[in-house]
């Protein structure tokens, strides 16, 4: 066995629903140390992939890291199956969406990928779209991550099924976790005799239409379910640095409700206040929504196959959402780099949006009302000096950080790539460059540029 492979036990296969409704099975195995980090999960792509690997739940499996980064399952250790056949279980893909219960369909005829067709209100898809619209390549709002997205769209995620695992917030004992002494097990939990689960909440958002109309007041009474951790406490005498030492050592299986966007006052009679993060999130939405260039707005709409490069091509031809609304498939395929399938998807999205009752229609109307995608940005006129060029940057530059250099290359029509291949046109070399990229450039005879030379190329006078 190579150093980069480890053996472990496959415990289960989780199925998650992504932003576009595609189901992805993920292997969950006992944690192993690989290339410097502990890993316990690896993507298994789809049912066919799992069949081909021939892994069963309970198998000893070999895992490694592809390119030293992405954990992958290599296959089962067949010898370990002998005598354990009864303990192994074959994985079967669900027929209903694990998030909303809708019957799954195939993404395309003859394709193995399954999707949940409930695009509008499947909680997993909606939460995915909300955190995606806040991502760096869309509206770029740090405070609106996965957790905030779930709180806005699916606050009852992780709701306990009975009071047996529900810890009311009045219980001081569990405020910051169940405390145990080293080596001790937590006591078994007995709920108060008349304890009842709080009524389920109605989500604040049922689509992305009202994201720019959110107010602090609306968010006050949004609660999320939070797993209560087990905390090991060492007294000052027991810890090496002679201080009381608290460390989370696991989940208790119990859940409590906490405010998602407001503080929880410690004293009775005190009013909860919006957290700093909440105020910043609302401020950023108000500011960055109307400021965003059209390509970012298109990325934020989660139209299938419309990622940043495609969105940039479209936004260069159509300057506002309004212009794009009346575009035909022919208009779009006339753009160099836009194929028929992408064009059809864009037109289909905007056709559905013409129905004012469709969530896409509501989104378009509300976003335009908030000034999103309505004004022409100067950005639309950036000269395309890097058009058709694939550029790899290595090392630290003086004038750009990692995101800025990628943004600059792409806004000038180029493609920013992370690894050198024969398709690379230039390698831009900063301070402390990566060895692999330099040797790659030499191997393929690719010209290297320093930062000044790159800026010249950018300005069209290379």
Instruction: Give the CA distances from residue 75 to residues 13, 287, 387, 457, in Å, rounded to whole numbers and listed in that order.
Output: 14, 49, 43, 47
Q: How far is the CB of 95 from Zn ion (least distance, A)?
A: 12
**Contact predicate 139/214, CB 8 Å:** no
Under the binding rule (CB under 5 A), the answer on residue 116 touching Zn ion is yes
Applying the rule CB under 5 A, the residues between 264 and 293 that interact with Zn ion are: none
Beta carbon of residue 255, minimum distance to Zn ion (angstroms, whole number):
23
Q: Which helix (H) or strand (E) holds 191?
A: none
**Token pair recorded at residue 400:** 């750009």
| 116 vs 254 by CB, closer to Zn ion | 116
Burial of 112 (0-12, 13-18, 19+ CB in 10 A): middle
127: contact with Zn ion by CB under 5 A: no
- Segment interacting with Zn ion (CB under 5 A) among 44-52, 112-120, 287-295, 306-314: 112-120
Give the residue with the Cβ less far from Zn ion, 101 or 253.
Answer: 101
Element (H, E) at 226: strand 223-234
DSSP label at residue 335: S
> Of 59-67, 118-126, 211-219, 362-370, which part binds Zn ion (CB under 5 A)?
118-126
Q: How far apart are CA 258 and CA 210, in angstroms?
A: 24
Helix (H, G, I), strand (E, B) or coil at 292: coil
Q: What's the rounded Cα separation, in Å, for the pair 46 and 23?
A: 8
Rounded to the nearest whole angstrom, what is the least distance from the CB of residue 11 to Zn ion in the complex?
25
> Looking at 99, 131, 207, 424, which residue binds Zn ion (CB under 5 A)?
99
Question: Min. distance of Cβ 100 from Zn ion in angstroms?
Answer: 3
**Residues 6 or more apart from 58 whose CB is under 8 A from it?**
9, 10, 11, 84, 87, 88, 89
Verify binding: residue 118, Zn ion, rule CB under 5 A: yes
Give min distance, CB of 430 to Zn ion, in A.
45
Rg (CA), the chain: 26
- With respect to Zn ion, which residue has the nearer C-beta, 98 or 186? 98
From the CB of 15, what's the least distance to Zn ion, in Å?
11
Which position among 34, 39, 119, 122 is part of the footprint of Zn ion (CB under 5 A)? 122
Q: How far is the CB of 117 from Zn ion (least distance, A)?
A: 8
- Identify the residue whose tokens are 């409704």: 21
Instruction: With beta carbons less than 8 A apart as the criterion, state whether 242 and 236 touch.
Output: yes
Considering CB under 5 A, how many residues would be counted as binding Zn ion?
Answer: 7
Residue in 34, 39, 55, 97 binding Zn ion, rule: CB under 5 A: 97
DSSP letter at 107 equals S
* Residue 156 or 284 with smaller CB distance to Zn ion: 156
Query: Which range in 87-95, 119-127, 223-231, 258-266 contacts Zn ion by CB under 5 A?
Result: 119-127
Give CA–CA dist 47/104, Å, rounded: 14
- Nearest Cα to Cα of residue 236 among 246, 227, 228, 226: 246
100 touches Zn ion by CB under 5 A: yes
- What is the smallest separation between the CB atom of 113 and Zn ion, expressed in angstroms? 14
**Closest CB to Zn ion among 100 and 335?**
100
Question: By the criterion CB under 5 A, which residues form the site for Zn ion?
Answer: 97, 99-100, 102, 116, 118, 122
């Amino acid at each position: 066995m190579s150093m980069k492979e480890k053996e472990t036990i496959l415990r289960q296969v989780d199925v998650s629903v992504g932003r576009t409704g595609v189901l992805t099975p993920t292997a969950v195995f006992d944690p192993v140390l690989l290339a410097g980090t502990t890993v316990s999960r690896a993507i298994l792509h789809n049912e066919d992939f799992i069949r081909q690997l021939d892994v069963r739940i309970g198998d000893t499996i070999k895992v490694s890291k592809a390119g030293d980064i992405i954990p992958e399952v290599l296959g089962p250790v067949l010898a370990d199956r002998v005598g354990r056949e009864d303990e192994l279980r074959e994985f079967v893909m669900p027929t209903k969406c694990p998030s909303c219960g809708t019957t799954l369909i195939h993404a395309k005829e003859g394709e193995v990928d399954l999707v949940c067709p409930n695009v509008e209100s499947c909680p997993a898809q909606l939460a995915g779209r909300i955190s995606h619209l806040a991502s760096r390549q869309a509206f770029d709002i740090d405070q609106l991550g996965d957790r905030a997205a779930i709180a806005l769209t699916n606050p009852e995620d992780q709701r306990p099924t009975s009071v047996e695992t529900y810890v009311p917030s009045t219980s001081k004992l569990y405020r910051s976790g169940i405390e145990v002494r080293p080596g001790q097990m937590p006591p078994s939990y007995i709920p108060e005799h008349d304890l009842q689960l709080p009524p389920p909440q109605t989500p604040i958002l049922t689509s992305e239409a009202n994201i720019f109309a959110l107010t602090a007041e609306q968010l006050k009474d949004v609660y999320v379910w939070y797993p209560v951790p087990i905390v090991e406490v060492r007294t000052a005498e027991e810890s090496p640095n002679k201080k009381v030492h608290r460390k989370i050592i696991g989940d208790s299986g119990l859940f409590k409700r906490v405010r998602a966007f407001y503080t929880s006052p410690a004293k009775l009679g005190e009013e909860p206040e919006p957290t700093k993060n909440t105020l910043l999130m609302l401020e950023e939405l108000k500011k960055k929504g109307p400021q965003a260039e059209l390509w970012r707005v298109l990325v934020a709409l989660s139209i299938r196959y419309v990622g940043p490069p495609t969105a940039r091509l479209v936004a260069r031809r159509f300057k506002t959402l309004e212009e794009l609304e009346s575009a035909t498939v022919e208009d779009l395929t006339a753009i160099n780099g836009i194929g028929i399938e992408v064009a059809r998807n864009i037109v289909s999205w905007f056709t559905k949006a013409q129905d004012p009752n469709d969530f896409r229609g509501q989104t378009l109307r509300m976003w335009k009302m908030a000034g999103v995608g309505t004004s022409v940005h100067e950005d639309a006129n950036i000269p395309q000096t890097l058009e058709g060029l694939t550029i790899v940057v290595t090392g630290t530059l003086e004038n750009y950080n990692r995101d800025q250099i990628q943004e600059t290359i792409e806004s000038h029509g180029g493609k920013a790539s992370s690894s050198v291949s024969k398709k690379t046109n230039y390698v831009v070399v900063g301070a402390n460059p990566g060895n692999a990229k330099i040797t790659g450039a030499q191997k393929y005879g690719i010209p290297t540029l320093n930062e000044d030379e790159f800026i010249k190329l950018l300005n069209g006078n290379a």
